[in-house]
A and B are shown apart, each in its own frame.
Chain A
Amino acid sequence: MSNFLSPLFASGFFASEAVHIALAVGALVALVTGVVGVFTVMRGQSFAGEAFGDLGTTGGAGAYLVGVGPLWGFVLGNVLAAGAMEAIGVQRARGRDLATGIVLGAGIGLAALFLHLYTTDHSTTGATVTILFGSVFAISSSTLPLIVLLSAIVLAIALTIYRPLLLSSVNAEMASARGIPVRLIGVLYLLALALAAALAAITIGTILSTALLIGPAASALRLTGRPLSALLTAAGIGIGAMWLGIVLAYDSFHWPPVGNGWPVSFFVVTLVFVIYLLSGLPAARRRRQADRIPSASPAAQPARPS
């Protein structure tokens, strides 16, 4: 068995503790981000997800500055940012991108300051790269309980508000007509998104975290129209990309040109991107078939799952 698999799994893969942690954390985080991401894509809030990722940089840099673990910084920074976005009107579709952008810009400015202060204090600049691009292999076992706790919170929020969130994501007017507190649901969802982005940031780095949030979910929504199966597909794609990325990163240790391994985040994000491109193929084929029928309506992508 092990001989048969040895071309894929470099020696020592299953013995390393760092790999065990990476596989476990990767799967858990991919599950959480897949679930939250489906709603992010349906609500058209990719930019907010991206903003949380980047704002995690601010929190992470702040955490370095005061000397606590970066995950605390990601969480605190994102929750504060969610509050700021909510305050200046991220709920209204009009001007929402602007509100997100302004908060993001100010946050990144702060990150620049924090990193500057940290590097002048410690005369090392490694923090910048660590925070931005992360590495799932570098997660210490002492962070595990916090990761599990945060994941549980996010999943609990998502499951509790699942039905009203789904309805208000698909059709906000209908949701409020049925007496669903759309605003409250939106705030809770934003909180879940902020925490999920923090989890993604600790796994693949702050500025790449969007890949885990958006990629699997967007691919899943292209493959299936039913919400529940989209959630499961997104989680499955995320976990698959994560694990394959970890395997490849482990294998790449002896690859050229430098021989100290390619970054695991690179593999994960590239896999996610390729899966998204491939997931468009079935729809494109359907569209081509529809085009052959003369009376077919102009090829329109179904905007949201029914």
Chain B
Amino acid sequence: MFSGFMVNAWTVASIVAVVAGIVGFFTVLRGSAFAAHALPNGSFAGAAGAILIGVSTLLGLGVFSLGGALTIGLLGRRGRHDVATALTLVAMLALGALFLSFSSEYAPEVYSLLFGEVLGISPNELAPTAILGALCILAVAILYRPLMLSSVLPEVGEARGISGFRMEMLFLTVLALATTMTVPVVGTLLIFSLMIGAPAAARSFTDRPLVAMGLSVAIALLIVWIAIAASYETNYPVGFFVGGGSAVSYTIGRAWAAWNARRRGRGAGMSAGRSGVESEALATGGLPS
């Protein structure tokens, strides 16, 4: 399980989990679950197009996820945000359907793009994944303070000169980057369950942002590792275990939060001022540097 080609799988999947845990934390904080679903899902079309004209899938994924992020951001500025996301997604997918119909016979590749083929990762996918992952984490580190404030208390952010629209565009760009690197590994349909499940579970356990982010990474790593091991043993698709693991971790988080709330007594500690995330955002989120 740890020899030969499996080493690549473990390494790449671990990078993906770290990035998904960190970017996912902000996804959950901002309530951008739909965008996190739409970008990877829609960028599938880019991969299909890349296969069609014979360039690297990574390039196709990158172009489509960035294009999708910009479209969602711009359309969502005027119209309803969820509508803009939904329509951008289906427009990209429709293109994907068209590309698929042009190139007749590669259904297995479609399947692996959609649902992931972590066990088939080749060594030359290692470098791009690592570079893009590092880029994502760097971007989040630079944007951390203004993004935090703008996500939790948008009005305060605007008052301190942080444009909500610009933050949204920047965040969607980071999301697009994360999408590009993670899609070839876990598939377009499942990266988002990792991005939602792990951070949502982490937030049930702690209210402090940095701790939650670390915990989110840890949970994502755990899910991915278990999924790979289970997939290796059973030969079932890795996506199944990632989706299931995310749901299980979320359920545990919710149960723990509910139990904790009952133990403390209803409403006793809840009404006391701002939540930890909010006060942390206020404390750290100064003017953008």
Interface set of A (CB-CB < 8 Å, partner B) = 41, 44-47, 49-50, 54, 88, 97-98, 100-113, 115-116, 119, 125-126, 128-129, 132-133, 205, 207-208, 210-211, 214-215, 218, 222, 257-258, 260-263, 265-266, 268-270, 272-273, 276, 280, 283-284, 301
Q: A258 CA to B108 CA in the complex, in Å?
A: 20
**Residue numbers in A under 8 Å from B95 (CB-CB):** 266
Is B237 positioned at the interface, with any CB of A under 8 Å from its CB? yes
User: Can you list 14 contacts pairing A with B, beta carbon distance less than 8 Å?
Assistant: A46-B83, A46-B86, A102-B247, A102-B250, A105-B196, A106-B247, A108-B190, A109-B190, A109-B244, A113-B236, A116-B236, A208-B90, A272-B90, A276-B87
Q: Do residues B241 and A125 form an inter-chain contact, with CB atoms below 8 A?
A: no
* Least CB distance, A230 to chain B, in whole angstroms: 13
Q: Do residues A108 and B239 form an inter-chain contact, with CB atoms below 8 A?
A: yes
Q: A162 CA to B63 CA in the complex, in Å?
A: 43
Q: Do residues A98 and B33 form an inter-chain contact, with CB atoms below 8 A?
A: yes
Is B94 positioned at the interface, with any CB of A under 8 Å from its CB? yes
Known: A98-B31, A108-B115, A257-B102. 14 other contacts (CB 8 A): A46-B82, A97-B33, A98-B196, A102-B200, A110-B243, A116-B237, A210-B89, A214-B87, A215-B87, A215-B90, A258-B101, A258-B104, A269-B93, A273-B87
Is B267 positioned at the interface, with any CB of A under 8 Å from its CB? no
Q: Do residues B243 and A263 form an inter-chain contact, with CB atoms below 8 A?
A: no
* Least CB distance, A272 to chain B, in whole angstroms: 7
**Residue numbers in B under 8 Å from A104 (CB-CB):** 37, 193
The 7 closest A-B pairs by CB, nearest first: A109-B243, A105-B193, A125-B107, A269-B94, A106-B247, A46-B82, A211-B90
Which residues of B (245-267) have their CB < 8 Å from a CB of A? Answer: 246-247, 250, 254
Q: Do residues A214 and B115 form an inter-chain contact, with CB atoms below 8 A?
A: no
**Residue numbers in A under 8 Å from B239 (CB-CB):** 108-109, 112
Q: Do residues B102 and A258 form an inter-chain contact, with CB atoms below 8 A?
A: yes
Q: Do residues A266 and B189 form an inter-chain contact, with CB atoms below 8 A?
A: no
Determine the residue in chain A with the shortest Cβ distance to B30: A97
**Residue numbers in A under 8 Å from B116 (CB-CB):** 112
Q: A269 CA to B42 CA in the complex, in Å?
A: 13
Q: Do residues B80 and A109 form an inter-chain contact, with CB atoms below 8 A?
A: no
**Residue numbers in B under 8 Å from A207 (CB-CB):** 41, 90, 93
Which residues of B (93-111) have their CB < 8 Å from a CB of A? Answer: 93-95, 97-98, 100-102, 104, 107-108, 110-111
**Residue numbers in A under 8 Å from B194 (CB-CB):** 105
Q: A42 CA to B237 CA in the complex, in Å?
A: 38
Q: Do residues A262 and B101 form an inter-chain contact, with CB atoms below 8 A?
A: yes
Q: A170 CA to B179 CA in the complex, in Å?
A: 35
Q: Do residues B83 and A101 form an inter-chain contact, with CB atoms below 8 A?
A: no
Determine the residue in chain B with the shortest Cβ distance to A41: B83
Q: Do residues A109 and B114 form an inter-chain contact, with CB atoms below 8 A?
A: no
